[in-house]
Structure 1
Amino acid sequence: MLIHNTDVATIFNQIADLLEIKGDNPFRIRAYRNAARTLNTLAFSVQTMVKEKRNLTDLPGIGIDLAGKIVEIVTTGTCALREQLHRELPSSIHELLNLPGLGPKRVKALYQERNIQTLDQLYSSACNGQIRNVPGFGIRTEQRILEAIRAQQSKKKRYRLDLAETIAGSLLKYFQASPHVRKIDIAGSFRRRQETVGDLDILISSSHPDSVIQHFIKFEEIVQVLAQGKTRASVVLRQGMQVDLRVVANVSFGAALYYSTGSKAHNIAVRTLAQKRGLKINEYGVFSGAQRIAGETELTVFQSVGLPYIEPELRENRGELAAAQAGTLPQLIRLTDLAGDLHAHTKASDGQHSLREMAMEAKNRGLSYLAITDHSSSLTITHGLDAQGLIKQMNEIDALNAELDIKILKGCEVEINEDGTLDLPDDILERLDIVVGAVHSKFGLSRERQTMRIMRAMDHPCFTLLAHPSGRLILEREPYDVDMHQIILHARQRGCFLELNAQPSRLDLSDTYCMMARSEGVLISVNSDAHSIFDFDNLRFGIGQARRGWLEKDDVLNTLSIDQLLAAIARTRCHR
């Protein structure tokens, strides 16, 4: 696992914040903040120092204790002290620390005096005049808190990737009608396949930029033109999304695409490499003095600084440059690598199509196997299956398997009860090919209880796969408080697997946890969670998230052949 200096610094700053909320020794708190500042300014990698067994205490402000924690973070990706502090304080308290005017001391007072843990609780308390009487606050502070929350809420809206993709598709189709468009691409966070997008950045190469701009501002979805020039234009669409267009000459298209794809941190790191070679990179190309030496394609931009091509999903300055220089960039998974899908629903619970229809659609999509995983009965809102209903479905699957040229696996999305037990009797679970455990209730359990709940479920000998592990809904619901690093380590010990749920409302696991699972050798299953035949389209979103998480084909469970998959599942049942 590649750990950047900023990753270590972030953890140290989080520890300092949490220690300050707890009222710890101010000298200890200051030591963590100073160490974080040192790490953020280093020109070399502490991970490399650890690998080379160099003395970390030679760094300014780094003593023996902090040096040990740097080694721990570089080795494991986390820090036991931070995890301990997270267990002692609610994880949501971090969102209070991000509010202007609220430092750790005030957050501590709000937590101790009013048990305020979230922004919503803070806003409600401030509106009701319950903050002004907290020691160290007052009416003016209460008012400033309200203003800060409202300002934060009014920040530029973000959009889920599926909506952004729909808008982008309509724009690409619209530009096909222009004879002056030579090349076109959508850049920015959309191209990097981030799970949410703030705006769309369109890049076009053309020898008639004025005509392209004029064509663009006639797009029928535009409700406001923010800016219009000879080579640039910015508009707001009906959905509220801003779209920025840039038109460049073909000779600069690669450089402009690279520049506008980002991320900012990645671009800065590459420009630093260029500067060491006496080069300059901008949106017009790569220059040696006044001479353009590269820029028509992105590949030439990378080659100019001695790097191989780096896929857009990796460009987050999370170690991709070091990997590129070392020749260890991952060969990222592709949609065509998937051999099957291990999470799908039918009319038997909350799906929209029959068992046969789902199987036939999966076959038409080129998949060789499909796990049918309707909900178990305790999730009443989905009309889940009880034992008898599941037995009936298993018999239907046997009949279809004798008929269809696709392997249908008998499965169930089984509820993980609050105590960690599974919502089906063992004699039924043992008859299933795959048991997908899921949390759909009691999201408010403490971090320790939620983590223990899930780990106990994973310990069941029939347990195969943890569905949507954090329970989040993007832009709708925060993840429940769980120690995901501990879950990943437990999955490794137990020999079971984690899901990357490809629903664009979930994309759960996050990219960072995918990276962590990969580093621990835990296989991820990229599943559609299809509730209709159309939902198999979700797989492409899951693949985008997997690529952001550095996953290769061999890191993904459902790239295995059916025989390999069944053998892998059988091994999970040997861990009793």
Structure 2
Amino acid sequence: MHNIYALMKNHLVAHILNRVADYMELRGDEFRTKAYRRAARTVEFLGEDIEDVAAQGRLRELPGIGENIAAKIEEILSTGSLSLLERLAGEYPVDLDSLLSVEGVGPKTVKLLYEELGIKTLDDLEEQARRHRIRRLRGMGEKKEAMILRNIELARSRISRRPLAYVVPLASRIKSELLELEGVRRVEVAGSIRRGRETVGDIDILVTATDPHRVMDHFTSMDLVEEVVVKGPKKSTVRLREGLDCDLRVFDDEVFGAALLYFTGSWEFNVELRRIAISSSMKLSEYGLFRGDERVAGRTEAEVLEALGLTYIEPELRENRGEVAAAAEGKLPDLVNLSDIRGDLHMHTLFSDGIDAMEYMAEYASILGREYIAFTDHARYIDDVDAYLRAAERIEDVEVLAGVEVNILYDGSLEVPDKILQDFDLVVASIHDPGNITERLLRAMEHDPVDIIGHPTGRVLGSPDPLVDMERVVERASELGVALEVNSNPLRLDLRDTHVRMAVDAGCRIAINSDAHSRGALENIRWGVITARRGWAEPDDVINTMGIRKLRRWLGN
């Protein structure tokens, strides 16, 4: 699913359903809380446009969506809102989006804070925490008040950022539109998008053009623009209808490389490059690398980096996490590419909570160039293992591994006995509920049939990260020969980049998988590749860059 509006529509529906669930939890309605939460999750991780599903009359075929919730989804799609949510919001007039983004604050806490202290907004919460009034409430205390206060700033930054996959199609559309203008020679998206950061706060675009004024006139009048913040001959800023700011800057060809380098790298990365320049009696800026008044380099990024004594640094690495020193020594990793991925080892079909049959998933995987795939439907849905295995054997488009995803229970045991799991070609073990994550993962990896730990931390972007001791998990996975997954779902990206780096450094293998629940979601693997690149992963670090025979040997060992 490439269309930005389709992505945003799915996000809107899931968001509204989740908010209804939050209000139901405030009311103490446990049954409806679970029902709306499950429906929201189905839409959130759906690999196709929810509007298309509704138009085809397939809403009621989706897991957890019956007549009542299907009608609610249709209302959201037709009106952009939900009357039920508006009624519920009238009962509790609080800014749930902001308050629930604070780690340690859930719907029940919001209810307590509103009823006892009249807290409605993030500012109210911060004020009452600083006045030490939260600690006096039942079930709170001094430690929880301090934790909430610490997490408020983090929540503010989280609210303003969007998942990378939601922003890239939007930035690409702007780039394509600008490239169509007469006199525009080059357009590049820079900033955190080019670095592949998991979330994006704004969009940075650089242009070379013969007529900058025409470029700025067009940019500030695009249909996507809601408000022009500032307009100038060389730089303009607009606020887009999706709520993001977008900066456009025009540069001359001879300095474009220096500008792209400057506006791509993190602040820390740019400081380090300027330090190197100064140590060589040079000066570096977005307008080039200078020795005195002479521009030494600037036309290309490689030219500037070479003049600084560095080999080319891929955009995803430009965070000042050791890549500059590695470039000076010629020891940068040969990063994994999407073209290196030969198979996909985590996906779901109609046998569990997927919405497409095995045949359709395999056919589309083949179109995407996959040589092999693993069906990994949830074990709890597979009533007849033999029928499942036979169905997998009948697939002809690609080579198929008949796998399974098994849930890791709270004590670290698996929901299915090892003797049954031995019948599958591949076993992905995952946690799908919070709590005790580190110990559960460590125990689950001890089970001999387990090959991959799926979405290891269980995080969802936009929510507080679960607490996991990843050093222990990575160390044990490396010892046992268990791969850790980079789940490519745009709302997960789990492992995150820093955890990938930790795994790579420890010699622990990773698997970059789509976790697709529909054909279209198989394409999401691109986001996992970007995350792995940010974690310095090379092809040999990734098990699904192997050919099928080598992979089968790895699984057998």
**CA–CA distance in structure 2, aligned partners of residues 496 and 296 of structure 1:** 46
**Which residue of structure 1 aligns with residue 535 of structure 2?**
549
After superposition, where does 1:47-58 map in structure 2 within 5 Å? none
**Which residue of structure 2 aligns with residue 412 of structure 1?**
404
Which of 231, 245, 259 does residue 228 from structure 1 map onto?
A: 231
After superposition, where does 1:31-70 map in structure 2 within 5 Å? none
**CA–CA distance in structure 2, aligned partners of residues 180 and 455 of structure 1:** 59
SS at 1:373 equivalent? strand
**Which residue of structure 2 aligns with residue 438 of structure 1?**
430
**CA–CA distance in structure 2, aligned partners of residues 250 and 432 of structure 1:** 57
Residue 154 of structure 1, CA deviation: 7.8
* Contact preservation (8 Å) 1:271, 1:280: yes
**Which residue of structure 1 aligns with residue 377 of structure 2?**
374
**Which residue of structure 1 aligns with residue 446 of structure 2?**
459
**Which residue of structure 2 aligns with residue 241 of structure 1?**
244
The structure-2 alpha-carbon separation of the partners of 1:120 and 1:421, relative to structure 1 and needing over 3 Å to count, comes to farther
Corresponding letter in the other structure for 1:259: Y
**Which residue of structure 2 aligns with residue 481 of structure 1?**
467
**Which residue of structure 2 aligns with residue 469 of structure 1?**
456
SS at 2:379 equivalent? coil
SS at 1:236 equivalent? strand
After superposition, where does 1:134-153 map in structure 2 within 5 Å? 149=152, 153=156
After superposition, where does 1:319-398 map in structure 2 within 5 Å? 319-377=322-380, 384-386=381-383, 388=384, 390-398=385-393
* Contact preservation (8 Å) 2:410, 2:435: no
**Which residue of structure 1 aligns with residue 37 of structure 2?**
none
The structure-2 alpha-carbon separation of the partners of 1:265 and 1:124, relative to structure 1 and needing over 3 Å to count, comes to closer
Residue 133 of structure 1, CA deviation: 5.2
SS at 2:207 equivalent? strand
Corresponding letter in the other structure for 2:440: R
**CA–CA distance in structure 1, aligned partners of residues 123 and 529 of structure 2:** 34
SS at 1:230 equivalent? coil
**CA–CA distance in structure 2, aligned partners of residues 246 and 417 of structure 1:** 52
Deviations 1:460-493 (A, max 9, x none): 0101100000000001x33322211101111111
SS at 1:462 equivalent? coil
The structure-2 alpha-carbon separation of the partners of 1:96 and 1:525, relative to structure 1 and needing over 3 Å to count, comes to closer
After superposition, where does 1:263-278 map in structure 2 within 5 Å? 263-278=266-281
The structure-2 alpha-carbon separation of the partners of 1:249 and 1:127, relative to structure 1 and needing over 3 Å to count, comes to closer
Which of 516, 522, 538 does residue 508 from structure 2 map onto?
A: 522
**Which residue of structure 1 aligns with residue 186 of structure 2?**
183
The structure-2 alpha-carbon separation of the partners of 1:343 and 1:96, relative to structure 1 and needing over 3 Å to count, comes to closer
**CA–CA distance in structure 1, aligned partners of residues 225 and 280 of structure 2:** 44
* Contact preservation (8 Å) 2:475, 2:506: yes
Corresponding letter in the other structure for 1:527: N
The structure-2 alpha-carbon separation of the partners of 1:127 and 1:276, relative to structure 1 and needing over 3 Å to count, comes to closer
**Which residue of structure 1 aligns with residue 35 of structure 2?**
none
Which of 153, 161, 164 does residue 161 from structure 1 map onto?
A: 164
* Contact preservation (8 Å) 2:316, 2:530: yes
Deviations 1:138-181 (A, max 9, x none): 9xxx99x9899489638871011011112112111211321121
Corresponding letter in the other structure for 1:292: R
**Which residue of structure 2 aligns with residue 298 of structure 1?**
301
* Contact preservation (8 Å) 2:352, 2:378: yes
**Which residue of structure 1 aligns with residue 480 of structure 2?**
494
Runs of 4+ deviating beyond 6 Å: 119-125, 145-148
* Contact preservation (8 Å) 2:418, 2:447: no
Residue 395 of structure 1, CA deviation: 0.9
The structure-2 alpha-carbon separation of the partners of 1:414 and 1:250, relative to structure 1 and needing over 3 Å to count, comes to same
**CA–CA distance in structure 1, aligned partners of residues 129 and 290 of structure 2:** 55
Residue 525 of structure 1, CA deviation: 0.3
Corresponding letter in the other structure for 2:394: A
Residue 376 of structure 1, CA deviation: 1.9
**CA–CA distance in structure 1, aligned partners of residues 259 and 174 of structure 2:** 19
Residue 286 of structure 1, CA deviation: 1.1
Corresponding letter in the other structure for 1:430: Q
* Contact preservation (8 Å) 1:174, 1:219: no
SS at 2:246 equivalent? strand
Structure 1 length normalisation: TM-score? 0.71
**CA–CA distance in structure 2, aligned partners of residues 500 and 152 of structure 1:** 25
**Which residue of structure 2 aligns with residue 107 of structure 1?**
none
**Which residue of structure 1 aligns with residue 115 of structure 2?**
none
Corresponding letter in the other structure for 1:334: N
**CA–CA distance in structure 1, aligned partners of residues 492 and 150 of structure 2:** 31
* Contact preservation (8 Å) 2:179, 2:186: no
SS at 1:374 equivalent? strand
SS at 1:480 equivalent? coil
**CA–CA distance in structure 1, aligned partners of residues 544 and 158 of structure 2:** 39
Which of 421, 429, 449 does residue 429 from structure 1 map onto?
A: 421
After superposition, where does 1:521-540 map in structure 2 within 5 Å? 521-540=507-526
**CA–CA distance in structure 1, aligned partners of residues 215 and 173 of structure 2:** 16
Residue 453 of structure 1, CA deviation: 1.5
SS at 2:427 equivalent? strand
The structure-2 alpha-carbon separation of the partners of 1:123 and 1:349, relative to structure 1 and needing over 3 Å to count, comes to farther
Q: Does 1:558 align with 2:553?
A: no
**CA–CA distance in structure 2, aligned partners of residues 471 and 428 of structure 1:** 25
Corresponding letter in the other structure for 1:385: I
**CA–CA distance in structure 2, aligned partners of residues 545 and 516 of structure 1:** 13
Which of 553, 559, 570 does residue 556 from structure 2 map onto?
A: 570
After superposition, where does 1:83-102 map in structure 2 within 5 Å? none
**CA–CA distance in structure 2, aligned partners of residues 146 and 566 of structure 1:** 50
* Contact preservation (8 Å) 2:333, 2:538: yes
Corresponding letter in the other structure for 2:406: V
**CA–CA distance in structure 2, aligned partners of residues 507 and 96 of structure 1:** 19
Residue 279 of structure 1, CA deviation: 1.0
* Contact preservation (8 Å) 1:410, 1:432: yes
The structure-2 alpha-carbon separation of the partners of 1:461 and 1:124, relative to structure 1 and needing over 3 Å to count, comes to farther
Residue 533 of structure 1, CA deviation: 1.0
SS at 1:182 equivalent? strand
The structure-2 alpha-carbon separation of the partners of 1:563 and 1:455, relative to structure 1 and needing over 3 Å to count, comes to same
The structure-2 alpha-carbon separation of the partners of 1:347 and 1:128, relative to structure 1 and needing over 3 Å to count, comes to farther
Which of 282, 292, 312 does residue 309 from structure 1 map onto?
A: 312
